[in-house]
Chain A
Amino acid sequence: MSAETEPLRLPAARLRVPQGFRRWAEREAVFSWFMIAPPMAFLLALVGYPFVYGIWLSLENRPVAQAGTFVGLANFTADFHDPVFWQVVQNTFVYTGAATVLKMVGGLGLALVMNQAFRLKNLVRAAMLLPFIVPTVLSTVAWMWILDPSFSVINWLLIHTGLANPGPSWLGNPGWAMTSLIVVNTWRGLPFYAITLLAGLQTIPPDLYEAATIDGASMLDRFRYVTLPLLKPVVFIVTMFSLIFTFADFQLVYVLTRGGPANATHLFATYAFDIAMSGGQFGLGASVALAMLPPLGLLIVALALYMRRRDG
C-alpha cells in the first residue's frame, strides 16, 4: 500500500504552489478578470484615453504639429460666436430628423411588404441589403454621378419628359443639396431598418393575429394593436442607432458636398474635420467635435443602459 502511494507524493509536493495559484485562477471572478483585462486595457488605451485627451485638446490653442497652450473655454466661446457653428447645429438637426423619419416610415413600409409570402423572397432580401453592405464611399460616388450638375441622369429624364429644363442643380443649390443628402442617407439606411424590423415582425406569433381577426379587428386595428406594440422595442433600438450614426455622419457629406454650398450642408463631423485637418487648428476642431457630445452622450447612455438591461 505504502509502496504504491510513495511515488505519487513527490509530484504532488512539487505542484503545491502552482496548484494554489491554479485554484485561485479558477475562481470565477479571477478567471473573468484575467479574460477581460487585455481587451479592456486595449479599449481604455484607444477609446478612453483619446476621449479624455480630446477634452484636453478642446481646452487648448493647438496648431497642428506645435505645442499647445491652455486657453480654458476660449474655443467653445469662439464656437458660440461663430455663425457657421449655429448653421452646422441647424443642418445636423434637420439632416438627422428628416433622414430618420424617412428611414423609419420607409423601412417599416418595406418590412410590412416583405412580411408577406412571395417567391424569391430570400433573393430580394439579399439584394435589398446591398446598399448597406457596399462601402459607403463607393456607393456615394455613384450618387454623385447621378446628381452631377451637367450629366445627371435625373435631369436628363426631367428634360426629355419636358418636366423641367435645365433641371435643379442637385448639389449646387443649398436646399436641394440638403435634400439630396437626406435622400442618399435614406437610401443607405433604409435596408437596415427594413431587415431589422422584418426580423422583429417575424417574431410576432401568428396566433395573435388570428385571435385579433376572430375578435373582429380590421387590418388597421391589427397593425395598431398587435404589430406596433410588439415591435416597439425593435423600433426603439433601431431608431436610436440610426439617430446616433446619422447625427455623427461624415462620409456622405464629405464625398457629395464637402459641406457646401456656402456651409449649407456642413455637419458637426465635417465642420470639425475642416477646422482640424484642413485648417490645422486641433483645439478648435476638437471643441466642435465635442459639441456633439451632449445630445449624442444622452442617446448613447440611454441606449447602452437599455441594451444592457435587455441582453446584459
Chain B
Amino acid sequence: MVERRGWRVRALQLWLPLGFFLFFELFPFYWMAVTSLKPNQELYNTHVMPLIVYHPTLKHYVDLLSETNFLVWTWNTLLVATVSTAISLVFGVMLAYPLARMNFPGSALIAFAVAATYLVPQPLLFVPMADIIQRMGLGNTLTSVILTYPTLLIPFCAWLLMGYFKSVPRELEDAARTDGATRLQTMIRVFLPLCTPGFISAGIFAFTLAQNEFLYALIFLTNTSVRTVPVGAIAELIRGDVFYWGQLMAAALLGSIPVAVIYSFFVEHYVAGLTAGSVKQ
C-alpha cells in the first residue's frame, strides 16, 4: 500500500513533469531527423501520417553534400571557431591572471569593464561594426569574423577563468617565486598547467558560442565560399519562397552534430562553464 502510493507520488512529482519537459525540449530534434530522411513525395503529402518515415532515404544528405557548399561552410565554421577560441583563451588568461592574483591600481575598473563587455549583445554594435569591417576591406573574408568573435568570447573566457584561477591554491606559486622564478615563469610554468579543467570549460563554451554566432556572419559574409554553416543554410537553402526542407533539416542535423559530440565528452566542463557566472560553488 505504502509502496504503491510512493510510486504514484514519484510518477506525479518526477516522471510526468520530466517526461513533459523532455518531450518539449527534444521533439524538434526528432522532427529534424525524421524530416531529413523523408522522400519529397512523403514530405509534401498532408494525407500521410507525418510522425514516422515510411520510405527512409538519404537523398537529402547526398544532395546537401553534392549540390551545395555545405562541406566548405563546415570547414569555415570549424576554422573560425577554433582560431577565435584560441585567441580568446590567450587574451582571456592575460586578463584573468592579474585580476585573480594581483593588486594593482585600476583592477576594479578593469574587472567592471570586462563584466560589462561580456554583457554587450552584438545587435547593439552591428551597424558601426559593418561599416568598420567594410572600410577595412575585410568584407567577405574569414578574417572579419575571426577578428570580431573574440570581442564576444574574451570577456566570457576572462570571467570564467578568473573564477577558476581563484580556486587554485597559491602555495605552488609562492614556492616558485621564492625559488627565484619571475612572475611570467611562475604563471606559465607553474600556474597555468594546474588550470587545464578551467581551459577546457572556457574553450568548449567559447567554441560553441563561436559556432552559434549568426549576426556578424550574416552581415560580413555574403560570398558562399566564406560562409559559415548557419548563414549558408539560411541564405542558400531558402531561395525566395522555395524552402529545401529536406536539405535544411539535414543541414541542421549535420551542423549540430560536431558541437553535440564535443559537448557530450565534456558535459561536466560545459555545465561548469555555464554556471560559472552565477553559482558560487
Contacts and interface: CB of A to CB of B under 8 A. Distances in A.
Interface string A150-168: 1101001000000000000
A244 B233 contact: no
Interface in B85-134: 91-92, 94-95, 97-99, 102-108, 110-113, 115-132, 134
Interface in B155-214: 155, 158-159, 162-163, 166, 182-184, 208, 211-212, 214
Contacts of A229: none
B119 A304 contact: yes
B188 to A, nearest CB: 11
B124 A292 contact: yes
A251 B279 CA distance: 28
Interface stretch (A79-87, A114-122, A169-177, A210-218): A114-122
Contacts of A42: 91, 150-151, 154
A143 B31 CA distance: 9
B277 interface: yes
Interface in A191-224: 191-192, 194-196, 199-200, 203
Interface in A19-41: 22, 26, 28-29, 31-33, 35-36, 38-40
B251 interface: yes
B245 interface: yes
A3 interface: no
B128 A53 contact: yes
B18 A124 contact: yes
B263 interface: yes
B57 interface: no
A305 B108 CA distance: 10
B267 A251 contact: no
Interface in B223-281: 229-231, 233-234, 245, 248-249, 251-252, 255-256, 259-260, 263-264, 267, 270-271, 274-275, 277-281
B112 A305 contact: yes
A245 B281 CA distance: 25
Interface in A122-146: 122, 124-131, 133-139, 141-143, 145-146
A269 to B, nearest CB: 3
A145 B267 contact: no
A45 B46 CA distance: 54
A187 B126 contact: no
Contacts of A245: 121
Contacts of A153: 31, 50-51
Nearest to A156: B50
A145 B218 CA distance: 21
A300 B275 contact: no
Contacts of B218: 254
Contacts of B134: 65
Contacts of B137: none
A292 B233 contact: no
Contact of B125 (A47, A129, A203, A241): A47
A305 B250 CA distance: 44
A146 B151 CA distance: 34
A300 B127 contact: no
A308 B112 contact: yes
A96 B37 CA distance: 36
A301 B122 CA distance: 16
A29 B105 contact: yes
A293 interface: yes
Given A51-B128, A145-B249, A203-B281, A32 B182 contact: no
Nearest to A57: B128
Contacts of B159: 307, 311
Given A54-B124, A110-B21, A251-B214, 6 more contacts: A31-B98, A39-B154, A141-B234, A141-B252, A269-B215, A296-B124
11 contacts: A42-B154, A54-B128, A106-B21, A124-B18, A137-B214, A138-B256, A145-B245, A146-B28, A150-B46, A196-B279, A200-B275
Interface of B: 13-14, 17-18, 21-22, 24-26, 28-29, 31-32, 35, 43-44, 46, 50-51, 91-92, 94-95, 97-99, 102-108, 110-113, 115-132, 134, 147-148, 150-151, 154-155, 158-159, 162-163, 166, 182-184, 208, 211-212, 214-215, 218-219, 229-231, 233-234, 245, 248-249, 251-252, 255-256, 259-260, 263-264, 267, 270-271, 274-275, 277-281
Interface of A: 22, 26, 28-29, 31-33, 35-36, 38-40, 42-43, 46-47, 49-51, 53-54, 57, 65, 106, 109-110, 113-114, 116, 118, 122, 124-131, 133-139, 141-143, 145-146, 150-151, 153, 156, 187, 190-192, 194-196, 199-200, 203, 233-234, 237-238, 241, 244-245, 247-251, 254-255, 268-269, 272-273, 276-277, 282, 285-286, 289-290, 292-293, 296, 299-301, 303-305, 307-308, 310-312
